[in-house]
Structure 1
Amino acid sequence: MKLDRIKQGLLMVSGALLLGTSQAAEQPNVVIIYGDDVGYGDVGAYGSRLIPTPNIDRLAAEGLRFTDGHSSAATCSPSRYSMLTGVHAFRDGVSILGPTAGLSVSTLDLTLPKLFRQAGYRTGIVGKWHLGLGENEGSLDWNGAVKPGPLEVGFDSSFLLPITNDRVPCVYVKNHYVVNLNPNDPLVVSRSLKEIRKVKGSTQYPDGRSNPEAMNVLKTEFRHNDTVIHGIGRNGYMAGGKSALWDDETMGDVLVEKAQAFLWEKSDKPFFLFFSTHDIHTPRMPAKRFCGTTTLSARGDAMVQFDWATGQIMKTLADMGVADDTIVIFSSDNGPVYQDAYVDGSKHRDEIGEVDRGHDASGIWRNGKYSIYEGGTRVPLIIRWPGRIQPGVSDALVNQIDFIASFASLLKIDLAEGVARDSRNTLDAFLGKSEQGLPFMIEEAMRDGRALRIGDWKFIAAKQTKAGAFIPAELYDLNCDPGELNNLMDEYPEKAAAMAKRLKELMEGKGVRYAE
């Protein structure tokens, strides 16, 4: 399997060498502001009444707001993988990655930052990574050079949460090194508590399973009660690195400062910044000044913090005098989740399933994160480019996986065959020049959940659960039934069969771009 991946990577490199850039290509700066678990209904411009988001709303008013914009998957690592590579994560076996995962993106493949760098841009990432680090599972020495990682897949600089804020290690990584790490307190990360307890000479942290009283800041219901850092249980085990630990409450400020520093860096090159915040992912610990700004507990308050961060990025671009020369994309990696492992007061439904807070983070769409239903991938998607994108609302079907092919078109770069093979050029839809969007689209969710969208029709493939239960296929007309409540399999058996056949062909094919 690994040999096949290497061979594929070599083909990508040889293909990438054939790419050409035209002198006539436009080169606007590009900033992607990427939320974590932000739902369609969490933004005022998309209908939220209980979370004030004036900065994001202004971005929507000045840009193009998509009503049918999607991440490629209903979970974090797969959607990030697809956006950066232009390849559906299920093709390469990428799912939610654990604390010891190796780099999931091949260093030989074309990526979104490599595309920009080839066009003469300087590229940077600030925030959540969650695509693995190091050569292989469990092989990384956190006390040396932390690589391969973002720098090896096309970013010139990086300041990372290496995994995510609910997983160890709870440290920042700048470029190749853990920030503020004391060599006398070596950092060790493992899936095994037994192995961590064998580590000598490094700080030992409480285990939340045997010492639940240590989780005195934020309780957890399940899974995330391994290592306790700052009174919060995390997924996975770590020892050492005490001097390098992040502060959860200042994380939002730190990431904004690092993003601003990248933007202000002197250069005669245009820039591409992937600003990948931790908001509003659990554990939610917004800065104290945001606590109590909503009636929706820490989840709502963290969304207010994210709106502030968005405003800070927009203000920086204006202060630099480049706001009109910059494409800003605002979106999320997947749909919303409420009290996910942590008991933070954001529980959304009462015991009989009634909405009890007056706020549905998915809007009118069904479910959210992890789910194959529409709320899993239909997320806020706003694109602003003054003078080039007419402000308004677009119903075009668009997907983040298509950023590579679309920006390649803008930059006048031809993608070689086999490169970013699921990414299609939808530049005209992204720029508001066309309402057509995608003719069809695959949706991906947990546990082999797969669906096909063709217009307003949505087919969800049958599957077998881990426990062996069979879940039959479903068919919905989203135009009449946005909540996906009325399964039309019996009413339209021929349409269902045709869509099932098409989905199977697309999943087994060499790439969606070659199947139109």
Structure 2
Amino acid sequence: MNRKWLILPLLIMILGCSEKSPEEVQPNIVVIYLDDLGYGDVSAYGATELETPNIDNLANGGVKFTNGYASSATCTPSRYALLTGEYPWRNEDANILPGTAPLLIDTAQSTLPKMLKSQGYQTGIVGKWHLGLGNGNVDWNTTIAPGPNEVGFDYSFIMAATQDRVPTVYIENGNVVRLEKDDPISVDYQNNFEGEPTGKDNPEMLKMKWHHGHNSSIVNGIPRIGYMKGGESAKWVDENMADTFLLRAQQYVKRHKDEPFFLYYAMQQPHVPRTPHPRFVGTSGMGPRGDVIVEADWCIGQFVKTLEEEDLLENTLIVFSSDNGPVLNDGYYDDAVEKLGDHKPRGPLRGGKYSLFEAGTRVPFITYWKGHINPQTSDALVSQMDLFNSLAALVGGEKQGPDSKNFLNVFLGQSDQGREHLILEATSRTALRKGDWIMIPPYNGPAVNELVDIELGNSESYQLYNLREDIGQQNNLAKEKPEKLKEMLKLFEEIRGTNYANTRELELK
């Protein structure tokens, strides 16, 4: 390969520079993003009942962050923040989107792939999108735009939303794959199409039973969210999805191995419905949820092997993380609860997906660059939003992520000084992390989401926790530390706006 590569000392010397000299050539960049993977789901992060050797290899060979955060406790907002470098709560539409939602990212908006593309990168996404498509009222039978290709990706092979939502088809560069003209696709999230079976009315057709919410159109024996008609030849086979995305990611690497590339490899595991390929059924002993984590780990190993075989591993910066924390029963009966055993998907943390407690947003977060990053564990506070401006510093691009911070030296393992503070979000509710402390304002609503059995963080009172001393958030210090609470609240309101979130008068007498 005809590339010149900086040795690490020279790279570190220029970390503070916004300009890079013409002879410098950038590394390939890969973001591997899992879906609903918890802090405790990876053996490198303490899991003892699940083995994830390939993820562990990245963690043990790179920087393993113990305070790495997704921006939100749900998927769409976190993906928005990752690609735009902007807090999702600044966009009122950044909520969990249906499959028919319009594109969430404005085509004029700065994005991570646009920035990298401006610096000569080929840019691609393979996997889950879930950021909306088109301008509303999408016609799935023609080229769908705007979408990933209009916000900076040269190549896209995606599913529109999630595996449990219609349309259950792959979309390549705006076009549904394998769609036949005489069998057009229709999608509706309000009304079913005449004569189409549903999970609610036709349980005899199901190979996976729904628990809540997932009782509309049936595809491959699995009931989904939303209604779909047509497109039979285009519908995916759920059990083949991991292999399909892996193959496309490998093909992308091979096609672009002679030029710098950015690949956003957005895997679907372990989101519901959990449908491991038969090769992985029973491999975890925990049912489908454990099996798809094992499957995802294998896929990552195969992908890294491809980089190695193409002589790219030492020229590729890999970032590994998850869009939010874990959930067990998220809409289907799949033994995730019954076969959990001693496994703790959230690790030592409290909460999970949908929650303002730590397990909602604190996730596995790893940076790996063979020969350039020294293996280490870092307690630095970092957010996925920070990848935008940090990678801009690496390649000489403009740092345009409005809430992103340049922590390239932290991601490369050359500093442990991360963020001073970070706003965390869960279904439009927000909290503040500053130093070792986290403050959760009062919120109305249930304390527990009974359907998924996860504590949400809602309370009539302020909550204040010292995470260094109490990582499980069991000891609320709001009344014992009134000055610290006031300090946290002042900063929170400076960022979020005065009296945000129905701020109540402090009862500190």
- Correspondence list, 1:334-345, <5 A: 334-345=324-335
* 1:435 is aligned to 2:426: no
Amino acid aligned to 1:474:
Q
Taking the aligned partners of 2:275 and 2:124, their CA distance within structure 1 comes to: 25
Judge conservation of contact 1:462–1:470 (CA < 8 Å) in 2: yes
Which position in structure 2 is the counterpart of 1:208?
Answer: 199
Taking the aligned partners of 1:466 and 1:300, their CA distance within structure 2 comes to: 29
* 1:380 is aligned to 2:361: no
Judge conservation of contact 1:100–1:132 (CA < 8 Å) in 2: yes
Which position in structure 2 is the counterpart of 1:160?
Answer: 158
SS of residue in 1 equivalent to 2:264? strand
* 1:304 is aligned to 2:294: yes
Deviation at 1:222, TM superposition (A): 1.1
Amino acid aligned to 2:308:
A
* 1:410 is aligned to 2:410: no
Structure with the bigger percentage of helix: 1
Deviation at 1:211, TM superposition (A): 2.0
Deviation at 1:23, TM superposition (A): 2.2
Taking the aligned partners of 2:462 and 2:202, their CA distance within structure 1 comes to: 44
The runs of at least 4 aligned residues of structure 1 exceeding 4 Å deviation read: 19-22
Deviation at 1:457, TM superposition (A): 0.5
Which position in structure 2 is the counterpart of 1:97?
Answer: 97
- Correspondence list, 1:348-363, <5 A: 357-363=341-347
- Correspondence list, 1:45-124, <5 A: 45-93=44-92, 94-124=94-124
1:289-332 CA deviation, whole Å, 9 max, x = no partner? 10111121111000000001100110000000010010011110
Cα RMSD (Å)? 1.7
Deviation at 1:142, TM superposition (A): 0.3
Deviation at 1:20, TM superposition (A): 7.3
* 1:464 is aligned to 2:444: yes
Which position in structure 1 is the counterpart of 2:336?
Answer: 346
Taking the aligned partners of 1:348 and 1:41, their CA distance within structure 2 comes to: 18
Deviation at 1:267, TM superposition (A): 5.9
Taking the aligned partners of 2:257 and 2:312, their CA distance within structure 1 comes to: 13
Structure-1-length-normalised TM-score = 0.88
Amino acid aligned to 1:232:
I
Which position in structure 1 is the counterpart of 2:280?
Answer: 290
- Correspondence list, 1:181-220, <5 A: 181-194=179-192, 196-197=193-194, 205-214=196-205, 216-220=206-210
Deviation at 1:83, TM superposition (A): 0.4
Taking the aligned partners of 2:270 and 2:346, their CA distance within structure 1 comes to: 14
Judge conservation of contact 2:119–2:396 (CA < 8 Å) in 1: no
- Correspondence list, 1:311-330, <5 A: 311-330=301-320
Identity %: 46
Deviation at 1:414, TM superposition (A): 3.4
Q: Rate the CA distance shift 1:210–1:490 in 2: closer, same or farther, 3 A.
A: same
Amino acid aligned to 1:432:
G
Deviation at 1:21, TM superposition (A): 6.4
1:90-120 CA deviation, whole Å, 9 max, x = no partner? 1111010012100001110110111110110
Which position in structure 2 is the counterpart of 1:142?
Answer: 140
Judge conservation of contact 1:336–1:376 (CA < 8 Å) in 2: yes
How many residues of Structure 1 are paired with residues of Structure 2 in the alignment? 470
Which position in structure 2 is the counterpart of 1:6?
Answer: none
SS of residue in 1 equivalent to 2:366? strand
Judge conservation of contact 1:37–1:336 (CA < 8 Å) in 2: yes
370-379 or 383-392, which deviates more? 383-392
Q: Rate the CA distance shift 1:24–1:481 in 2: closer, same or farther, 3 A.
A: farther
Amino acid aligned to 2:282:
G
* 1:495 is aligned to 2:476: no
Judge conservation of contact 2:433–2:439 (CA < 8 Å) in 1: yes
Taking the aligned partners of 1:184 and 1:21, their CA distance within structure 2 comes to: 53
Q: Rate the CA distance shift 1:266–1:111 in 2: closer, same or farther, 3 A.
A: closer
SS of residue in 1 equivalent to 2:78? helix
Deviation at 1:405, TM superposition (A): 0.6
Aligned with residue 169 of structure 1, among 167, 170, 173: 167
Amino acid aligned to 2:293:
M
Q: Rate the CA distance shift 1:502–1:348 in 2: closer, same or farther, 3 A.
A: farther
Amino acid aligned to 1:154:
G
Judge conservation of contact 1:53–1:307 (CA < 8 Å) in 2: yes
Amino acid aligned to 1:141:
D
1:4-54 CA deviation, whole Å, 9 max, x = no partner? xxxxxxxxxxxxxxx976526550001111110011111111111111111
Judge conservation of contact 2:102–2:134 (CA < 8 Å) in 1: yes
Which position in structure 2 is the counterpart of 1:15?
Answer: none
Deviation at 1:276, TM superposition (A): 0.3
Taking the aligned partners of 2:460 and 2:180, their CA distance within structure 1 comes to: 51
1:335-387 CA deviation, whole Å, 9 max, x = no partner? 111111110000169xxxxxx61010111011111100000111111111122
1:156-177 CA deviation, whole Å, 9 max, x = no partner? 0010111110000000001110
Amino acid aligned to 2:81:
S
Amino acid aligned to 2:442:
A
Which position in structure 2 is the counterpart of 1:449?
Answer: 429
Q: Rate the CA distance shift 1:175–1:20 in 2: closer, same or farther, 3 A.
A: farther
Which position in structure 1 is the counterpart of 2:323?
Answer: 333
SS of residue in 1 equivalent to 2:40? helix
Amino acid aligned to 2:389:
A
Deviation at 1:426, TM superposition (A): 1.1
SS of residue in 2 equivalent to 1:132? coil
Deviation at 1:470, TM superposition (A): 6.3
Amino acid aligned to 1:454:
K
Taking the aligned partners of 2:388 and 2:445, their CA distance within structure 1 comes to: 33
Taking the aligned partners of 1:267 and 1:290, their CA distance within structure 2 comes to: 30
Judge conservation of contact 1:325–1:385 (CA < 8 Å) in 2: yes
Amino acid aligned to 2:407:
T
Q: Rate the CA distance shift 1:466–1:190 in 2: closer, same or farther, 3 A.
A: farther
Taking the aligned partners of 2:83 and 2:24, their CA distance within structure 1 comes to: 21
Structure-2-length-normalised TM-score = 0.90
Deviation at 1:191, TM superposition (A): 1.2
Give 5+ residue unaligned stretches, structure 1: 1-18, 198-203, 350-355, 510-516
Judge conservation of contact 2:115–2:398 (CA < 8 Å) in 1: no
1:170-204 CA deviation, whole Å, 9 max, x = no partner? 0000111000111111101111225x33xxxxxx6
SS of residue in 1 equivalent to 2:308? helix
Which position in structure 1 is the counterpart of 2:495?
Answer: 506
Q: Rate the CA distance shift 1:268–1:338 in 2: closer, same or farther, 3 A.
A: same
